[in-house]
Amino acid sequence: MDRRLFVLRHATSSWQRSGLSDHQRPLSGRGRDALPPLRRALEDRAPDIEVVLCSSAVRTVATLEGVRAALPEHARVIIDDELYGAGGQTWFERCQLVGDDVAGVMVIGHNPGLERLVHDLAPTGEPAALDLLTRGFPTGALAELAVPGPWSQLELDSCHLAALQIPRELPNLDL
């Protein structure tokens, strides 16, 4: 079975509302504008996504909602407080717990944890994707990793970075 891991950093959030905790920060206008191109970027790839693991922060849930139309109706969505601010190791361990019969997983969260996850899992990849990754993992970044075996046997340095898209390079979005 060909498995895929999609790693999506939340879209750009707003810092303008005083009195809100970091967990409560909403998407900014720029973040909301990034959602349709992100959704379109997922449309061809999303049919295999069966499980979505998402941080409970307002901005990650809003990002999920903005791309949800591209996901299969049967995709199981798990919004988890423990994924808010999770490090790469936590995301790695959560991926290992996904059932081995699952073809595709999407994780939606925050940096530095998600960027660390991509670096830790994918030492190889498509040259253009690896080049983009050297420049960081900005808000709205979407990585696609080829996973070589069952989720329960996922290992560090075992995946291949198949693609990396960042908002400024998506069509119809002038960031």
pLDDT tens digits for range 46-73: 888 999 999 999 999 999 999 999 999 9
d(CA 104, CA 129): 19
Q: Does 170 have pLDDT greater than 80?
A: no
Whole-model pTM?
A: 0.94
- Tens-place pLDDT, residues 22-51: 999 999 999 999 999 999 989 988 888 999
Ordered domains of the chain (ranges, CATH):
3-169 (3.40.50.1240)
Q: What share of the chain is helix, strand, coil (3-state, %, to 5)?
A: 40, 25, 40
Measured between alpha carbons, how far is 125 from 165 in angstroms, rounded to an integer? 13
Q: For residues 47 and 80, what is the distance between their CA atoms, to the nearest angstrom?
A: 23
Amino acid at position 154, single letter: L
Q: What pairing do the DSSP bridges indicate for beta strands 104-109 and 76-80?
A: unpaired
